[in-house]
Amino acid sequence: MDLTPRTNSEAIVEPAKRKRRWGPVVIVVLALVFGGVVVTKFLTSAIDYYCNVDEVGSRTGCEGDRRMRVQGIVEQHSVKQVDGATSFVMTFNGEKLPVHYAGDPGGVFQECIPVVAHGRVVNDVFESDRIEVKHSNQYVQKNKTRLDKANEEAAACSVSAD
C-alpha cells in the first residue's frame, strides 16, 4: 500500500451549488403578509369606540369619520321614516346628533328612550347601520352611571311629552 501523498493534476471538482427555489419562499412571505393584513383589518374594525352624543367630535376616539357606538336619547317628535330609512335626532347632556338609519329599527324603538347607534359621522350626520335599544344585564352592570344619566334624560323627555 502506497501512502505517499498524491499530487492531483486534475482540477478539483467542487460540488454543484444548490439552487435556491424562490417559489416556496415567496408563497410563505405572501401568506404571512396577507395574514397580517387580515388580522390588522379585523382588529381595527372590531374596535368601535363608545361615546355619548356630547362626546362626538370632542373626546379622543369619538372624532372624525371613525366607526363608533353612540349613546343618546331619541328626541321627541324627531323620528321620520322616508323610503324605508329612519331619521331621528339623538340627544345627551344638551347636545344633539342627527342620525340616519337605512332601515326600520323595529322592536321597541320609539321616542324618548335611550338607544345605542353603531356607525360613523358623515357630513355632520351619524350614518348608522345598527340600532340597539335593550341593554343586556352585563352591559348594565358595567355602565350603570351612563345608563342612570340616560334614564334621567329619558324620564324628563317622557314627562314633557305629557
Per-residue pLDDT of the chain (162 residues; tens, 9 = 90+): 777 776 665 556 666 677 778 888 889 999 999 998 888 777 665 566 788 889 888 888 787 778 888 999 999 999 998 888 999 999 999 999 999 998 888 777 888 888 999 998 899 899 999 898 865 555 566 667 777 777 787 777 766 655
Taken in order 25, 28, 33, 36, is the CA torsion positive or negative? negative
> In which residue are the cell numbers 353612540 written?
70
Phi, psi values for residue 68, rounded to 5°? -155, 170
Q: What's the pLDDT at 62?
A: 82
Phi, psi values for residue 91, rounded to 5°? -125, 155
Query: If you ran DSSP here, which 8-state letter would residue 64 be given?
Result: T
Q: What's the pLDDT at 80?
A: 92
Query: If you ran DSSP here, which 8-state letter would residue 15 be given?
Result: P
Q: What's the pLDDT at 15?
A: 67
* 3-state class (DSSP) for residue 27: helix
Q: Taking the model in full, what pTM does it have?
A: 0.59
Q: What's the pLDDT at 61?
A: 78
Homologous superfamily, domain 48-161: Nucleic acid-binding proteins (2.40.50.140)
40 CB burial (10 A radius; 0-12, 13-18, 19+):
exposed
Phi, psi values for residue 124, rounded to 5°? 65, 15
* 3-state class (DSSP) for residue 56: coil
